[in-house]
Chain A
């Protein structure tokens, strides 16, 4: 990529396309990797959001596209933006090539621009891999399996939920997965180790792309983008690496040309400053994550013993649309499994946001989707495995006694060096 000879026509045009397309795709990196930069990076992003919405409406005839962030990277908006960037890249490459190729004495290769693009790619992928890796190591991306997650049947899971439950179960495996992303991310920060880092990223991201395609995880476009970028980082070294792996001799890569000592020092200081800023940004992102909320005193699964509504005890009849069968108490949400449910979807399972106040023994439950209708329940803990809830719920005055659900097979199994037989249930 940094060869000093003239490039072929196809390579020149392809390179120009890649530069224009890549700039649009990465923009406004590295500003968005710095701490507290939302103030700057969000307004910088807006023109591209407007352009995409306009392109969708005026050219493709798709009205009302907005860049609402909800965790999906495979929205219609994202596909339209990709198409827009590809078209702008093609137009840009055409205009640029027309200027350079038709005029006399235009450049025949772009070694310095290619080297700069290589550095940009390295840092971009490094930042993404570190962010994803740390989110796994600190168990933010895959939090431990919650009480609700434990009580959902596989048939009622979505494919993505199946993957999340699988990862959420194992802290060690999730941390391992995070290290497989964070370590190559670190290696990408230095020129010498960048190729090893990029090869490891290719292995890891191939697996993740396959997971995303196979388990309906809407990060297909972004994971493929990272995989392609890792491939581009390896490209200049690919031939040498393959030759060495096949047992052939390989030449040394010429060291980077040094500049004046003063400029080298500026480079070093700015690199160090950038890395520190990036580290601070990553730390602030982690520290502000809502998943770090502490669990409350009755986090877990509870089985209803008696259920009294408006003073009348209701027997556990599966046709009763009101009586509760059990309660899954997560940190910020709860699921009430109705006796009429039997793991049926729809109205037989109620899902609410809630907030437990241990000091006052109250639970504030949000019962509507808009977050406007709230109920305050009281609870007491006669014994560690007993729970009593009193409150008005959907117009009925409830008195519910519950006992803690028995320990689960999944969470009590633990690690075994010796297995006389497989335990596969």
Chain B
């Protein structure tokens, strides 16, 4: 075969592969985008067990932990607005099993999981974190807030706030909050006042503008809850029954208008619980500001 013909055949073959590649990309673009999005937003965790990852890391379990951590961040950041973050506890558990002294995943878990209705997982992770990383005050601080705000277990929250205040890195608010929750435990403060004090401390110790903004919104929101609770209590004393709705407080002249929540929530009067509640949002502006 002449040499020039060989070159020609090789070039034609190369051109054909490029053409096939181009056609493949254009023909199946839609289905591939769908597949990509399905994988991206999947709640299924495709993660080998931590022991297997440790085995294949060939003496570098911390590196394996780092790689799963990077994957966890991608999962966290890429999840759609309706995501339940079902796989996040598995990711964080795998990272902390591979490297039990890695502090940041404990912090992320105890902060974020309660907002995904996973307070139990946050507590399990946080309890492991305070055992494994004894010099980290932030893990204890965040864990105490879960006991405090989600579980309303003020006794345990008091213990963990105190623990946080004795460790490095915890905000000064830890010691104050230890006292605050102890008061709550003794019923001298109600939940909304405890929450206002909590968010005020978070606001004062925030490390970033974003964190400050979130804390400020929640503090102001809880002040409105407290204001409505006071009005509802007065209404109950006067009429002998809890208001059917917050609008009742306006129509009966106890308040001028229903204040607007900075978090975009609607306030609900619950006569059965004798409490002012507020609706949950999806997506929640707390972690999707």
Whether A associates with B in a native complex is no
Residues of A within 8 A of B (CB): none
